[in-house]
Amino acid sequence: MKKEDFAKEIKEIVELVKMCPQNLQEKCFEILLNHALSQKEDRHTTPMTKGMAEGQPSDDIQGAPPEIKKRLKAFTGQHQLSETEIYKVFSVDEAGNVDIVVTDLKSKKVAQQQRRLALLIGVKHQLADGSFDVPKDELREACVTYGPYDAANFGANLKNMKEIFAGFKPTATNKLSPLGKSQAASLIKELAS
């Protein structure tokens, strides 16, 4: 992005902020500026996909289906994430398949790893189909794959994290709550760093 274009974008942000109530203007400016800066960063950085994680050349988001691009931009915009951060944790192929590619959950505790996997699965489904679903069987399978599966405590761990789900049901597919979405965004930032 050219310096003049970015200056124009800053002016637009200032005009938008002036429309906000006085007590919210500083926060509004911060959010809009962070979003603009992350968009600027994304234009200069190729997002990571599964192929890049494995050291192979890969397509960036341009190859993803339009509906995934739309959901990706909505989620990153709402949670002040960059697409680069998303692509360090997830891969998206041209067919719209979304996979978790991060290998280190940055936790040694079984319950915390299970919680982190639930958050990532919710975002994976949001990108893939817009649902924020966390199917219990998929979570169990991810726990087995990543190693924190504790058969004796899986259900208890799931109940202990019910606040990240909207209308928690211990035997079914759950959806991330607003708190769960926020924690998922924070986790993505942590894992991408």
| CA dist 129 → 27, 35, 177 (Å) | 31, 24, 16
Output the pLDDT for position 56: 36
Q: CB atoms < 10 A from the CB of 69, how many? A: 16
Supply the pLDDT for residue 17: 77
Q: Which residues contact 107 (CB under 8 A, 6 or more apart)?
A: 113, 116
The answer to whether the CB of 188 falls within 8 A of the CB of 123 is yes
Residue 164 near residue 179 (C-beta atoms within 8 A): yes
pTM (2 d.p.): 0.69
Cα 19 from Cα 1, distance rounded (Å)? 26
Q: Percentage of residues in the chain with pLDDT exceeding 70?
A: 86
Find where tokens 């109940």 sit: 159
Weakly modelled stretches of the chain, pLDDT under 50: 42-60
Cα–Cα distance measured from residue 41 to residue 56, given in angstroms and rounded to the nearest whole number: 22
DSSP 162: G
Q: What confidence score (pLDDT) does residue 119 get?
A: 98
Residue 103, sorted as left (phi over 0), alpha (psi -120 to 50) or beta, turns out to be alpha
Q: Among candidates 78, 77, 3, which has minimal Cα distance to 39? A: 77
> Which residue's structure tokens are 């003049």?
4
Exposure of 174 by Cβ count < 10 A (0-12 exposed, 13-18 middle, 19+ buried)? buried
